[in-house]
Amino acid sequence: MRETLSVDAGNVRLAVYVSGPRNATPIVLVHGYPDSAAVWEPVRAQLEARYRVIAYDVRGAGASGAPATRAAYRLERLAADLAAVADATCGAQPFHLVGHDWGSIQSWEAVTDPAFKGRIASYTSISGPCLDHASLDLRGGGAERTARATHATHATHATHATAERKTRRPFGSGVRQALKSWYIFFFHLPWLPELVWRMGGAYAWPLWLRATEHVRTARDPAQKRNAINGLNLYRANFIDTLLRPRARHAHAPVQFIVPLRDRYVGPALSLGLEGWLGAYERTEIDASHWVVLRDPALIAAHVARFVDARPIQAADENAASIIATTATTTATTTATTATATAAATTSTTTADTTLNARAASA
C-alpha cells in the first residue's frame, strides 16, 4: 500500500512517498536534478516487495514546498530535510540511503556528518560525487593523497567479479570532467538558464531523454518548476564549496554504481577516495546517466545486494531486547531474594527450636 506524507522540515513541507511492508528494512531514495521522486518509481517497483521504500520530493521539486531564498538550498539544509524524512518514516531505526545525481551529491553531506553516525546503515551513490572531495582533488589534496591511504578499495565489476583497481585517476580525467560539466557553468549565469527552461526546455525535456538516454518518459506537469527552483542547488553550493572545501570522512559503508557512458559525471570521480571513505565498493556498469529509468532492475539488484550484506536491527527489536533483558534480570533478582529469604527463615526456625529444647531440659 502506498502512503503519501507531508513532513515538516522547518521552512518547507516535504512530500514523502512510502511503500512496502511496514516492518521491512527501510531504504531512502533521493532524486536528482531536474527530477522529482517520480524518477524512482521504476526502481521502487523492483524493491517494494521486500523493503520499506521511502522517496521524497526534495525542496523546490514535485509537491514539496520551495523556499524563497537561495541560501535555503545549501547542503546543510538538504541534510536536515533527510533527517526530517527519516524521523517521520523510520523513527530511531537506521536506514539505507541511495542517491542519484543531485540526490547523491546532497546525500554526501549526511554520510559525512557525525550527527548521522549510526543512522545511515549504508550509502549507494549513483552519478553524484561529494563536492568537497572533488574540490579538494582539484586543489591537489584529494586523490593523490588518499591513494597512499592504508585502506584498500573493494572494486566490484557488474559481473560481480572482484578485481584490483588503480586508486590514481587517469591522466587528463580532470579536463574531461570539466568538459562534461559545461552545464554547471551555464547554470550559474543570471536569468539565461531560467529563460531556456521557460521558453521550451521543460516541454522538450522528455525528448532530450529519449534522444540521449533512450528512455521514454511522460511529461511531468511540474518539470518547469523542478528545473527553475533546482538551479538554486547549483548556485548555493558549487562556488562556495570550490573555494572552501572541507575534509569530510564517511561514517557508513559506501558503494558507487558507476555508469560508464555517463555524459555528465565521469568514472574517475569515484576513484582514489580511500582516505575519505575507508574500504568501499565500486561497480562499473555499461549504462548512461539516467540508468535508474533505463535499467531499474539492474540498479535495484545492486542496491539489494549491498543492503542485504549489511542487515540492521529494527528499533522495536532493540526495545524488545532491552525489555526482555530487564525482565530476565528482574526475575533472577526476585528468585535470588526469595531463596535468600527462605534460607534465612529456615535458619531462624532451627535456631529457635534448639533454644526451646535446651530451655525445657533445664
Domain boundary among 273, 296, 312: 312
pTM attached to this predicted model: 0.82
> How far, in Å, CA of 110 to CA of 105, rounded?
10
pLDDT tens, residue by residue, 276-297? 999 999 999 999 999 999 999 9
DSSP symbols for 109-168: HHHT-GGGTTTEEEEEEES---HHHHHHHHTTSSHHHHTTSSPPPEEEETTS-B----SS
Same domain membership, residue 296 and residue 324: no
Same domain membership, residue 306 and residue 191: yes
Note the residue count of the chain. Answer: 362
Task: Specify whether the CB–CB gap between 230 and 70 falls below 8 A.
Answer: no
Q: What's the mean per-residue pLDDT of the chain?
A: 83
State the total domains in the chain.
2
Same domain membership, residue 153 and residue 291: yes
What CATH number does the domain containing 132 carry? 3.40.50.1820
User: Going residue by residue through the chain (362 aa), what tens digit of pLDDT does each one get?
Assistant: 799 999 999 999 999 999 999 999 999 999 999 999 999 999 999 999 999 999 999 999 999 999 999 999 999 999 999 999 999 999 999 999 999 999 999 999 999 999 999 999 999 999 999 999 999 988 775 444 443 443 344 444 433 333 334 455 564 456 666 677 889 999 999 999 999 999 999 999 999 999 999 999 999 999 999 999 999 999 999 999 999 999 999 999 999 999 999 999 999 999 999 999 999 999 999 999 999 999 999 999 999 999 999 998 654 444 333 333 333 333 333 343 344 434 433 333 333 433 233 333 33
CA distances from 11 to 60, 78, 84, 235 (A): 12, 12, 12, 19
Same domain membership, residue 199 and residue 53: yes
Residue (of 269, 291, 295, 248) closest to 32 by Cα position = 291
Same domain membership, residue 156 and residue 270: yes
CA distances from 252 to 131, 171, 178, 330 (A): 18, 30, 29, 36
> How far, in Å, CA of 181 to CA of 268, rounded?
14
Per-residue model confidence (pLDDT) at position 341: 39
- Find the angle CA(264)-CA(268)-CA(269) to the nearest 5 degrees: 70
The C-alpha cell at 305 is: 545486494
Same domain membership, residue 327 and residue 271: no
Q: Report how far Cα 354 is from the mean position of its chain's Cα atoms.
A: 76
Q: 324 lies in which domain range?
A: 315-362
Same domain membership, residue 343 and residue 276: no
Same domain membership, residue 320 and residue 245: no
Same domain membership, residue 328 and residue 274: no
The residues that bridge with 97 in the sheet, in sequence order, are: 28, 123
Same domain membership, residue 190 and residue 130: yes
pLDDT tens, residue by residue, 111-149? 999 999 999 999 999 999 999 999 998 877 544 444 344
> How far, in Å, CA of 97 to CA of 73, rounded?
20
> How far, in Å, CA of 9 to CA of 58, rounded?
11
The C-alpha cell at 81 is: 530535510
Same domain membership, residue 298 and residue 333: no
Alpha helices by DSSP H, listed for the chain, are 41-47, 75-90, 102-111, 131-138, 143-146, 173-180, 182-187, 192-196, 202-213, 223-243, 274-277, 291-294, 296-308, 315-361
CA distances from 199 to 191, 205, 228, 312, 339 (A): 12, 12, 12, 48, 86
Q: Cα-flanking dihedrals φ and ψ of residue 4, to 5°? A: -120, 125
> How far, in Å, CA of 27 to CA of 44, rounded?
10
pLDDT tens, residue by residue, 140-166? 754 444 434 433 444 444 333 333 344
Question: If you search the block for the grid coordinates 555508469, which residue do you land on?
Answer: 259
> How far, in Å, CA of 281 to CA of 142, rounded?
18
Same domain membership, residue 131 and residue 14: yes
